[in-house]
Amino acid sequence: MAAVVAATALKGRGARNARVLRGILSGATANKASQNRTRALQSHSSPECKEEPEPLSPELEYIPRKRGKNPMKAVGLAWYSLYTRTWLGYLFYRQQLRRARNRYPKGHSRTQPRLFNAHLCPPGVKVLPIPVLSDNYSYLIIDTQARLAVVVDPSDPQAVQASIEKEGVDLVAILCTHKHWDHSGGNRDLSRRHQDCRVYGSPQDGIPYLTHPLCHQDVVSVGRLQIRALATPGHTQGHLVYLLDGEPYKGPSCLFSGDLLFLSGCGRTFEGTAETMLSSLDTVLGLGDDTLLWPGHEYAEENLGFAGVVEPENLARERKMQWVQRQRMERKSTCPSTLGEERSYNPFLRTHCLVLHEALGPGPGPTGDDSYSRAELLEKLRRLKDLHKSK
């Protein structure tokens, strides 16, 4: 029934996307049924009796772990536990780091620094995106007058150190959004190299080499930089985002969102519920439209492709997709966007929109006629995104 309603809701130019969405919806249902049957067989049958797996829907993509762009791309509970709780995860991160350095010796994307108060000499603040691993971003935030710097999520300490030396600044703080190695892997090397460098993050998240625990609304001050930590659990239990206040340098505020929010996307809910993730996204939605979004990954093209499946008539998404495709053809970074832009096309920030409720069909109630709550809609969007193959 959900597939029929979805196909009816998406008309005109969205006909092709409706077929894709129908395939995803039917595939998700088939997968769930298959999993239930497998569990039943395991509890009632002998080990020799194994059911043949159902073929994947043509619209679904199986991503072998070794081909994933990052270790969280295709992940099960067992692998996630190993990755986050044992040194096997660190060893895997080091392998990914070596491969990325060989494949992208100059980084996966071409980035440009953003200067604020550029008419002053020296300018007030510089934000420098650093492309690391296969699709991650670290960020160097510089008080250009004091020549002091803060780095967000230093995945590759070698790349970060090269930027520090090129800019001629002193690194005094590491801001870690969460514990995953592709965001925290450089903490040890950088904190050892820079003796006065402090490592900030949530004490709930097991941040490696943490020296200064932060709570919700705590402020880190470095020179003129005023950076506020906001608790945004869901992706991990202690996930934080960092908001650079724009007032001291008369510019827009900057949100360094880690794996909470991407251009037209959001992170997977590994250590929370849909309600938790929705609350965290609402925390971000409370910020101003001119706030610049600096995400932890270059996922723009894939995310906008999925947004086109669930909301094909969204003209803001189409315009953004055209721009992103031009950028990516030249391997240019798509950072930053603004929260105002994200409100217009990011489906994970649009769970209040009727068009998404209509596209995904009846809610999960026993009669099939109930509407989705925002959390239920977010959960279903996230599940469909995990199954979606960008075209």
182 catalytic residue (yes or no): yes
352 catalytic residue (yes or no): no
Bridge pairing between strands 261-262 and 265-266: antiparallel
289 catalytic residue (yes or no): no
235 catalytic residue (yes or no): yes
Beta bridge partner(s), residue 127:
114, 141
Given 180, 194, 239, 388, the catalytic residue: 180
* DSSP string over 241-291: EEEE-SGGGTS--EEE-TTTEETTEE---SSS-HHHHHHHHHHHHTS-TTP
The candidate with the shortest Cα–Cα distance to 209, out of 194, 222, 221, is: 194
CA distance 199 to 259: 18
Given 108, 178, 194, 239, the catalytic residue: 178
Q: What is the 3-state secondary structure (H, E, C) of 35-88?
A: HHHHHHHHHHCCCCCCCCCCCCCCCECCCCHHHCCCCCCCCCHHHHHHHHHCHH
Give the ranges where 330-373 is alpha helix by DSSP (H): 339-345, 354-359
Given 194, 235, 239, 357, the catalytic residue: 235
User: Would you call 369 helix, strand, or coil by DSSP?
Assistant: coil
212 catalytic residue (yes or no): no
Given 108, 182, 194, 388, the catalytic residue: 182
Given 183, 239, 357, 388, the catalytic residue: 183
Residues annotated as catalytic are 178, 180, 182-183, 235, 259, 297
